[in-house]
């Protein structure tokens, strides 16, 4: 059975959400995020979250794990077909979530939440906030009048971006200034599979 190293509030949420959407049986290996651990020093095979175990496969990087699960167990679900018109938007947003959108959010977390010297880095924190704003404006334009980022149904790209927006919302970086993004995020959050992933390990 698939096993997922899971700590609440981490990118492991993406994987739990995906497994729930697909109805794939899995075992959670519960962990708590250790704020004091050194870089990549979490109690998992890679030192980070998420990590998936599937037989001889041990895989980290949430995007790689999402893609692996979809390719291995998805039977074509939650991704537009290769060669379809929606595929380009799917690839774009799937990778944008970590390669672009997460960058200023990670900077903000590192400086304003974990840094411990927020006053000293006020300029950099403000720049991270402004850059996150630019990212959210891009999402706002893409999602206006739509329910999903690629095509008319949920895909892995929404799951990748959904977590990114969740972290922005948690940090109060996403608010009513981006009403369509907020609407989209709230619709995603109302999905039972996402709600279950967010609640995992928190009771
Ligand atoms: N790009 C990686 C980021 C992984 C990552 O930074 N995970 C965080 C939790 S959300 C973590 O484990 N941080 C501990 C560390 O990097 O030392 C992914 O998408 O999986």
Nearest residue by C-alpha to atom 20 in ligand 1: 61
Domain containing 113 equals 86-191
CA atoms within 13 A on the CB side of 19: 24
Q: Is the CB of 48 under 6 A from ligand 1?
A: yes
Residues 124 and 90 in one domain: yes
Four-point Cα dihedral 113, 119, 123, 125, nearest 10: 10
3-class DSSP assignment, residue 75: coil
- Full-model pTM: 0.97
Phi, then psi, of 59 in degrees rounded to 5: -130, 135
- Is residue 164 within 8 A of residue 97, CB to CB? The reply is yes
Q: What is the CATH number of the domain that holds 126?
A: 1.20.1050.10
Residues 157 and 66 in one domain: no
Residues 175 and 116 in one domain: yes
pLDDT(95) > 90: yes
Q: Is the CB of 31 under 6 A from ligand 1?
A: no
Q: Which residue has the higher pLDDT, 117 or 53?
A: 53
pLDDT in tens, 31-68: 999 999 999 999 999 999 999 999 999 999 999 999 99
Rg (CA), the chain: 17
Q: What is the CATH number of the domain that holds 45?
A: 3.40.30.10
Residues 13 and 65 in one domain: yes
pLDDT in tens, 136-173: 999 999 999 999 999 999 999 999 999 999 999 999 99
3-class DSSP assignment, residue 2: strand
Q: Best substitution site from 11, 14, 45, 69 to test ligand 1's pocket, by max atoms within 8 Å of Cβ? A: 11
Listed in sequence order, the residues at least 6 apart from 63 whose beta carbon sits closer than 8 Å to its beta carbon are 94, 95, 97, 98, 160
Q: Best substitution site from 45, 49, 171 to test ligand 1's pocket, by max atoms within 8 Å of Cβ? A: 49
Domain count, the chain: 2
């Amino acid at each position: 059975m698939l096993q997922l190293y899971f700590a609440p509030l981490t990118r492991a949420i993406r994987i739990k959400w995906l497994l729930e959407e697909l109805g794939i049986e899995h075992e959670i290996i519960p962990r708590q995020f250790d704020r004091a651990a050194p870089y990549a020093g979490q109690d998992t095979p890679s030192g980070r979250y998420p990590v998936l175990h599937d037989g001889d496969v041990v895989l980290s990087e949430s995007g790689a794990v999402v893609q692996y699960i979809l390719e291995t167990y998805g039977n074509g679900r939650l991704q537009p077909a290769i060669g379809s018109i929606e595929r380009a938007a799917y690839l774009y947003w799937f990778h944008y979530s970590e390669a672009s959108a997460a960058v200023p959010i990670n900077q903000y977390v590192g400086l304003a939440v974990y840094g411990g010297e927020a006053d000293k880095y006020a300029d950099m924190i403000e720049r991270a906030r402004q850059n996150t704003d630019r990212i959210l404006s891009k999402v706002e334009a893409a999602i206006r009048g739509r329910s999903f980022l690629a095509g008319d149904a949920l895909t892995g790209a929404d799951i990748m971006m959904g977590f990114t927006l969740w972290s922005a919302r948690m940090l109060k970086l996403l608010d009513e200034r981006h009403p369509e993004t907020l609407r989209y995020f709230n619709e995603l959050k109302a999905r039972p599979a996402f709600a279950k992933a967010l609640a995992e390990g928190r009771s």
